[in-house]
Amino acid sequence: MKIQVTQDTLYEYMLAHDVKLSRLAELIGKSREVVFSCFKHHKDPRGKPRYFSHENIEAINQALPVLAQELQQRLLTFGSPQTYTNRWGNTYDPALIEPIKELGHYLNITAMTGRVLGWKPTKKTSVLVQTTCISYGCISEADAIAINNEILSIVGVLSSYTLIAD
């Protein structure tokens, strides 16, 4: 059963869970600016707040399950041949760097890793970007599970939402 939500509720959820609105804009065939403007209710030239048209609402309702499916296809799989255990007994899988970066098309990775994993932006950069850093590729199974749980949570919500006019 679908849960009917307003665009404000959808917007708040997507912001709270670091979902990129630009991907939603691509899926509905609108510019990022139009989508942001409607979600934020910027005023039009006549001073009226902007809202999504009925056509855009229909497009968003068709796009939400697609976005959810695309996210679900990006669940992380820990345990590649690159997995190693360091001398302190910590096991990491550097093969997850690229899949996490791919999630960046859908989620704000810096904000999500901070919220879900407790990483500071510098740690995110050290683990995912700086190849010369000692912590590069140090992605644990617990990290992968936490990210997957967040993805599955978002997938469940986006799959269950249907946008209604305000």
Tens of pLDDT, residue by residue over 52-65, are 999 999 999 999 99
Q: Each residue of 13-72: pLDDT tens digit?
A: 999 999 999 999 999 999 999 999 999 999 989 999 999 999 999 999 999 999 999 999
Residue 1 has a pLDDT of 80
Domain-by-domain residue ranges, the chain? 3-65, 84-154
Question: Which stretches within the chain are classed as H helix?
Answer: 7-16, 21-28, 32-39, 54-72, 97-103, 109-112, 121-128, 141-160
pTM of this prediction?
Answer: 0.93
**Class of the 3-65 domain?**
mainly alpha
